[in-house]
Amino acid sequence: MPHLVILYTPNLDAETDMTRLCRALADTMLAVRDDAGAQVFPTGGVRVLAYPAAHSAVADGGAAVADGGAAGVAAGGTGEYAFVYLNLRMGRGRSAVVKQRAGDALTATAKAHLAPLFAKLHMGLTLQIDEGAEVFDAKHSSLHPLFNKA
């Protein structure tokens, strides 16, 4: 961990470079520091995975994917709706300050990347952080050793 999953309406792929957003969010995670200045998330454990939905419905939108609804058209826009949901799952035991710092930084990165879309579409963004409550955890990695050298 940390593990960031992005679920979004598929119309965004035509509007922005989601791979670049993934990289920007991973960089943001790598830059988070605790109060002692130490990197919070180990490099080899950082991953961001983004998934456009195959089918979706948002607010009062029409049946077709990415179709907008009456309220959007009445507002004088394209009527197109979009949604991005970002969920970061991290290990238990980090301080409240670190959680807030990570959340604020990721939100800022996502909002900056998506700013042109907020101006163009009727779009919602939600970012949530969960602390994993797993009852079993196993890891195996040939990534961590790349970053844990003496």
Interface positions, 55-84, toward its own copies (CB under 8 A): 55-65, 71-72, 75, 81, 83
110: nearest Cα among 130, 134, 86, 93: 86
Residues 89-108 that bind its own copies (CB under 8 A): 96, 99-100, 102-104, 107
Position 40 contacts its own copies (CB under 8 A)? no
Residues 1-30 that bind its own copies (CB under 8 A): 1, 3, 5-9, 13, 18-23, 25-26, 30
**How many whole angstroms separate alpha carbon 50 and alpha carbon 21?**
9
β 3-8/122-131 pair status: unpaired
**How many whole angstroms separate alpha carbon 101 and alpha carbon 94?**
11
- Residues 121-150 vs its own copies: string with x where CB under 8 A? xxxxxxxxxxxxxxxxxxxxxxxx-xx---
Q: What's the closest the beta carbon of residue 134 comes to its own copies, in angstroms?
A: 4
4: nearest Cα among 42, 43, 46, 52: 46
Q: What's the closest the beta carbon of residue 128 comes to its own copies, in angstroms?
A: 4
Q: What's the closest the beta carbon of residue 96 comes to its own copies, in angstroms?
A: 8
Position 85 contacts its own copies (CB under 8 A)? yes
Which residues are CB-neighbours of 84 under 8 A, at least 6 positions away?
A: 6, 7, 8, 9, 12, 110, 114, 123, 124, 125, 126
Q: What's the closest the beta carbon of residue 74 comes to its own copies, in angstroms?
A: 8
